[in-house]
Structure 1
Amino acid sequence: MKGREKSVTCILILNLAIADGTILLLTPFFITFLVQKSWSFGRAVCKVAYYLCCLNMYASIFIIAIMSMDRFLAVFRPYMAQSLRKREVVTKVLLAIWLLAGALAIPAFAYREVIENKKLNFSICEPCHASPGDSIFHYTFETLVAFLLPFPIVCVSYVLVLGKLKSSRFEQRSRIEKLIAAIIVTFAVLWLPYHVVNVIQVVSNLTTGNLSQKLKYATKVSRAGVTALAFFSACVNPLLYAFAASDLFKIFGVGFVAKLLEGTVAEIQKRVKSQRDLVKGLVRIGSRGESVNMEAKNGLKEVAYNGELDVFAQASDS
């Protein structure tokens, strides 16, 4: 892909693909665990696998949020977007995202342990908290950082962009509208159940008695299903782009995603350029008008000559 704008978009998409792809590479461990109904890879793999999974989960969600903010700026603040959409700026932002994701994933590494049941002859890799306070902190922190903060950013940014697109005549409007709607819906559908279970887990540690036991049992039964649903989100983004722009893929190949997402930027830039040229023209006309008025006051006279204005001095006593 050529051009600064497209290269920046490709960098964002590449990092999103790395994050989602890494999660998918870890799925054999979890599939084997579900089939065997026992964790057979040891404590080290248990901790590292879930740490990498959580790290790339945070990175994927943060990159989606950054992409939504990028679309918002491209539509509503095109000049600011052009100044920020530079390779060095985006590289620094992505580096910060990966470092932040690595730091935020530390609880997943710290709390994961392999629990062995010698009587039933099986092992399980699951979060182990020394106290209810640790459990409350872990799940509250995860839901806050991975859902309650980024999801509103994604929703607000894309909803505003959709509103702007409906009032404009962008060439790729219908495709972009479908893609944006799909991103919002799939983000909510695939991640909301996981974080609802997190909330139930927190409530179970804040309550006591029979209610607490029922809530803990509910989270234990549903945790595997909602986790698998969240894992599925890692392979959804490529499908979204493919269905939203299948004909563009035939024309542009792997660069069709950048072509699709940059549609709004191209249209905005055309409009901004035309508006800027119009403003410059009005300024020139205004300046010329002021000059004519000044010349008239000073005793100058205008004569049309071959389509142009010929200004010459007229004697004050004529």
Structure 2
Amino acid sequence: MSSNSSSPSGPTFLPISLSAQVGIAILTLAFILGFPGNLFVIWSVFCKVRKRSVTCILVLNLAIADAFVLLSAPLFLRFLAGGRGWEFGTAACKLVHYLCSVNMYVSIYLICLMSMDRWLAVTRPFMSQRLRSKRSLLFLLLGVWVLAFVLSLPMPFYRSNIKLDILNKTWNICMPYHGGHVGHKVFQYTFETVMGCIIPFTLINTCYSSVICRLQSAMFQQRNKGSRLILSIILAFTIFWVPYHIVNIIEVAGELQGSASTLTAARTARPNVTAFAYFSSAVNPILYVFAGSSHIRQAGLSFMGRLFEATNSESRSTSTFTRTRSSAPDESTVLQSLSVKLGRPFKGRSKERNESVKEEDEPELKTLATVQVD
């Protein structure tokens, strides 16, 4: 390495490569669309939603995580477009990448909670009603955030502000650093892919496969915007993050096989797929706009609040339907058993019912039946 004083003839600015130009475009678009978009989602939930569903609260936490991580976009833009390397020191280098990792884990495990909530509402309606309390939800959310901060701990250890000789001058570059140990690199990228992709996506696919099978068997064809919204969030996360994890796998394979061409391909693709994954923090508000477009004409700026309130009513209707289909006895059976308790015979849906049961007793029987069914 050479010092600045030893190479006064070196260029004043780093050249901006094509890869850096693509990264600048993606980060700029992400910040312009994503930061105000996520703030709008947060404002809508706090100010325009009266009854917040589980999906709504999970979306709120997702928007908070996305808005927070997008605050780091100006630092990355300065690094890519400034031409002076990383100017913010080692601590900032480690911190911003740590927060990006936290955002990845928070996002995917919040989506897991959304999927599990739908699975419980359809397949375990009674358990779903018991677990849908503010205390349980706060406990789960705290668990997700703590888990994300813990799982992200390897990131600051494997990221550093390194001095590199480029074009006869020394520059500070914030980059991955594993101390030349192949095992550390294999561990980091394998750990990220397993904990941030394979395990959560296995859980998500299992939940939704069970939900689809259950709803088809029940012949329940209700149009559910809440489910479509969650599926669109899952699809968007998959599109933006799976390329990043594929590059992780390619680089691990290259290290284990000692293939220089494989490693070169992975290292060339990594900056672009990382910027692409970063854009996932900006795409969710766009999905909400499309999902709530039918409310825009009537509700104006409150359209997103209407969308999230709709997920509350739809969630209740799905749970009520499955609970009724799976466990509610026939009305005539309940009325018959209750009529015996009241000392009056009940003979089902026939003309004899009017003779054996007085009209003034029917409201009492139906009220008791409703209580027993619910």
The TM tier, using the shorter chain, reads 0.7 to 0.9
SS of 2:279 mapped into structure 1 = helix
Query: What are the Cα deviations for residues 17-44 of structure 1, in whole angstroms up to 9, with x where unaligned?
Result: 1111112111111122221352121111
- One of 170, 175, 178 as aligned partner of 1:129: 178
Match for residue 9 of structure 1? Answer: 55
Contact 1:204–1:216 at 8 Å: present in 2 too? yes
Match for residue 220 of structure 2? Answer: 168
Contact 2:295–2:306 at 8 Å: present in 1 too? yes
5 Å-filtered alignment, 1:40-55, equals 40-55=87-102
Specify whether residues 89 and 270 from structure 1 end up closer, same or farther in structure 2 by C-alpha distance, changes over 3 A only. Answer: closer
Contact 1:201–1:219 at 8 Å: present in 2 too? yes
Contact 2:54–2:132 at 8 Å: present in 1 too? yes
Letter of the structure 2 residue corresponding to residue 227 of structure 1: T
- One of 128, 133, 136 as aligned partner of 1:86: 133
Contact 2:240–2:277 at 8 Å: present in 1 too? yes
SS of 1:149 mapped into structure 2 = helix
- One of 103, 113, 128 as aligned partner of 2:150: 103
The whole-number CA distance in structure 2 between the counterparts of 1:217 and 1:305 is 87
Q: How many residues align?
A: 296
Match for residue 22 of structure 1? Answer: 68
Using the size of structure 1 for normalisation, the TM-score is 0.82
Specify whether residues 288 and 107 from structure 1 end up closer, same or farther in structure 2 by C-alpha distance, changes over 3 A only. Answer: same
Match for residue 229 of structure 1? Answer: 276
* Structure of greater relative contact order (alpha carbons < 8 Å, 6+ residues apart): 2
- One of 302, 306, 312 as aligned partner of 1:256: 306
> Structure 2, unaligned stretches of length 5 or more?
1-48, 346-352, 361-374
Considering only aligned residues, what root-mean-square deviation do their CA atoms show, in Å? Answer: 3.0
The whole-number CA distance in structure 2 between the counterparts of 1:183 and 1:140 is 24
> Structure 1, unaligned stretches of length 5 or more?
294-301, 310-318
Contact 2:289–2:304 at 8 Å: present in 1 too? no
Query: Following TM superposition, by how much is the alpha carbon of 1:188 offset from its aligned partner in structure 2, in angstroms?
Result: 1.9
Specify whether residues 308 and 225 from structure 1 end up closer, same or farther in structure 2 by C-alpha distance, changes over 3 A only. Answer: closer
Contact 2:122–2:322 at 8 Å: present in 1 too? no
Query: Following TM superposition, by how much is the alpha carbon of 1:74 offset from its aligned partner in structure 2, in angstroms?
Result: 1.5
The whole-number CA distance in structure 1 between the counterparts of 2:213 and 2:357 is 50
The whole-number CA distance in structure 2 between the counterparts of 1:135 and 1:213 is 15
Query: What are the Cα deviations for residues 218-245 of structure 1, in whole angstroms up to 9, with x where unaligned?
Result: 1111011100111111111121122122
> Who wins on radius of gyration, i.e. which is larger?
1
Contact 1:182–1:240 at 8 Å: present in 2 too? yes
Contact 1:162–1:177 at 8 Å: present in 2 too? no
SS of 2:172 mapped into structure 1 = strand
Specify whether residues 129 and 15 from structure 1 end up closer, same or farther in structure 2 by C-alpha distance, changes over 3 A only. Answer: same
The whole-number CA distance in structure 1 between the counterparts of 2:108 and 2:354 is 68
Pair 1:182 & 2:232 matched: yes
The whole-number CA distance in structure 1 between the counterparts of 2:354 and 2:227 is 56
Query: Following TM superposition, by how much is the alpha carbon of 1:112 offset from its aligned partner in structure 2, in angstroms?
Result: 0.7
Which range moves more in the overlay, 44-53 or 279-288? 279-288
The whole-number CA distance in structure 1 between the counterparts of 2:357 and 2:113 is 57
The whole-number CA distance in structure 1 between the counterparts of 2:60 and 2:247 is 31
